[in-house]
Structure 1
């Protein structure tokens, strides 16, 4: 399992996908062999989830640097030193380390996961050198018309994307829209090469977080607290229309600090957002909060009066991994996203219709007021129990185990080890 996002890294919901797969795969007869990056490459690390790595897992952390932090001079570095990403040096450590691990443990499958493009390069090379079947966990589309924004980086990404889809045994996406994108982008690749494994939530993590819950406080006499937990990308989750809407509602006296409090937790872009909050004069309503341990973040979701989703139109074929945890928390959700995108579709399937467009100030005003009226009256829709149960990480791991069995059916005996490892 080639994964950059793995404990002790913190600050990304993407960590949970690999971590939970590695935690639950042994229950399906598969021993995880994890090839990750040296912790020095992580800008934010901690030990709060290290105990969740299963004892059966063999974890190797290969040499890796962050170009912007370790190879820059006064914050500047040559562009080629960050192609396809700032962690390209991980390839130098992970490819030879991966070959050693393959010789030693003789795994049956290589599994790599995005969103670090270098992981796909590592998987491609290991697959080509060993002939092992390769499941490429693409998650979301790697490229779009204007993504990545830099033309050279976009060309490199497109080459990696094309090589991955061409050579992998299976390509896994997290949304139906992503599969549609890829089948249209690569019409000569059989549709059977693409499979769907959505993201999810972990019930054990929520059970642990429940121990931190505080007694419920009635809304009377205090503001409604709306929490956004996780990264706010300036483009893919552009908050400017929301801030404009809040400024207009504040000026009209419809939404005040006495009625609403919005907490933006662990945004990864605090400096940028702080400037916008000051610009629009909404500091009494909107506040920034630092990263906390994962269990504490889940407890905050469970305690919040409501949860906020931001997802731009250019991510219509993506669903934030955090959304599945929001659904499990069973708190009212205000989703600012395109009504035709996969995020809105997933919410409607769960029975939630408190949705407004992220890029429309007027639409946000109307959607926010409707949401507040419903939530304050205790009438905001919550996720159905059926929808929640279908999205557990255990259920997702069972889906991955079936794919592992599928791709190993025709593997020559010479490539098989004494145990089922991936």
Structure 2
């Protein structure tokens, strides 16, 4: 790798972290960059900072990859007394204790390995704070990767946190060499927010799926249905945010269909895997009397999650209108799975447009229970008749992680030439 230029990559989400699709973006960039002439140097946080860990994806890190894990803790778990802590100890986020150690470790890596550029990815906001600090100290070109927007009107909800995030966001876009977003509407939003920034600084690299992960999931895979004979099984895999991906209208739609006799637990099973908010949703489901239909399932390994997608009769995608400029990362995995998709989205958002472009036939307004009920009734009927299909493989293959890494490498090549 002596002839490869080096890239210092700063990421909170990295194996052995579990329970966020954000891990896949950095992990796959770091795995494939070498094919395009760049050697990654990963700077992440001590695993003690993670709520949940799993060893399963550690093997996907190249054996000779340089990975440094700087000290960092979770304020809510490690610095609280009786579950309470000072708010300033969690600004800009609960992992701000990672910042000092990461800057010290990062400067040591820069002096030793002499990278040609820095890359940081958020959320977590502290990752960009580290990138900003290292950029100022080293004067290296810096790519700031925004997997989600850092601020919006009313987000974060706490006014003090919003001000801190907006200040870091402002500093980030003014000091970075490239600000990368995962959707075109988010890029447009930032370009309008910061008109003084030249258009050449903004870029879009979408998320994607990893073909090697799917081939591994399909290897030795027995395609047995998730549900019982005669039962249609729908799956949502991943976090269901109470606001951004509010499932309450969907729950109400299920209750409507059960009351009308269209569905019951023997005909339909809905698996909500790793919602992150089970304790919030469990009483809602019980109150509506749909607990024979809806099952809240715990976190599993990424490999098992992909296999479950492949076995489901249909896949559920949630994205609220408040996130119309964002695309859930799992949409690309849903594409590759080849399973039929029911999209519960903001009708004017990019997720709705993406699903339409992929020729997904069943799309409903996530906020309209009656619209969901009608669309869900038809979706289940089509699945029962075996006449609905998933996204074509040809379309899905346009969205591979390797193709996205090639886009990142092209950005880096451009920076290296300037």
Q: Does 1:289 align with 2:297?
A: yes
Q: 1:267 aligns with which of 252, 275, 278?
A: 275
What is the CA-CA distance between 1:319 and the residue it aligns to? Answer: 0.6
Number of aligned residue pairs: 410
1:233 aligns to 2:241 (yes or no)? yes
CA offset at residue 212 of structure 1? 5.1
In structure 1, distance between residues paired with 2:270 and 2:207: 26
Deviations 1:180-210 (A, max 9, x none): 1111111111121111110000111111111
Specify the alignment match of 1:84 in structure 2. 92
1:30 equivalenced with 2:22 (yes/no) = no
Quote the residue 1:366 is aligned against: 374
The reply on whether 1:175 has 2:183 as its aligned counterpart is yes
Higher RCO (CA-CA < 8 Å; seq separation 6+): 1
What value does the CA root-mean-square deviation take over the aligned residues? 1.3
- Aligned 1:247-396 pairs, distance under 5 A: 247-396=255-404
1:212/1:299 contact within 8 Å kept: no
Unmatched 5+ stretches in structure 1: 411-422
Does 2:23 match 1:15?
A: yes
1:351/1:381 contact within 8 Å kept:
no
**What is residue 416 of structure 1 aligned with on the other side?**
none
More deviation in 225-234 or 265-274?
265-274
Cα distance change of structure 1 residues 150 and 28 upon mapping to structure 2, 3 Å threshold: same
Q: Supply the distance in 2 between the matched residues of 1:228 and 1:305 (Cα, whole angstroms).
A: 11
1:145-184 Cα deviation digits (max 9, x unpaired): 1111111111111111111111110010001111111111
Q: 1:163 aligns with which of 158, 171, 188?
A: 171
Question: Does residue 407 of structure 2 align to residue 399 of structure 1?
Answer: yes
TM-score, normalised to structure 2, is 0.96
Alignment-derived partner of residue 6 in structure 2: none
Report the 3-state secondary structure (helix = DSSP H, G, I; strand = E; otherwise coil) of the residue aligned with 2:318.
Answer: strand
* TM-score, normalization by structure 1: 0.95
- Secondary structure, in 3 states, of the residue corresponding to 2:38? coil
Residue of structure 1 equivalent to 2:4: none
CA–CA separation in structure 1 for the residues paired with 2:213 and 2:228: 31
Q: Give the direction of change, closer, same or farther, for the CA distance of 1:241–1:116 in structure 2 (3 Å limit).
A: same
Gaps of at least 5 residues in structure 2 are 1-8
Indicate how the Cα distance of structure 1 residues 64 and 371 shifts in structure 2: closer, same or farther if over 3 A, else same.
Answer: same
Match of 1:408 among 400, 405, 416: 416
C-alpha distance in 2 between matches for 1:39 and 1:330: 34
Aligned to 1:57: 65
Q: In structure 2, do the counterparts of structure 1 residues 26 and 236 end up closer, same or farther at CA, with 3 Å as the change threshold?
A: same
Match for residue 118 of structure 2? Answer: 110
- CA spacing shift, 1:341–1:381, aligned 2, 3 Å: farther
- Structure 1 position 210 matched with structure 2 position 218: yes
- Name the structure 2 match of 1:201: 209
Counterpart secondary structure, 2:150: coil
SS in 2 for 1:262: strand
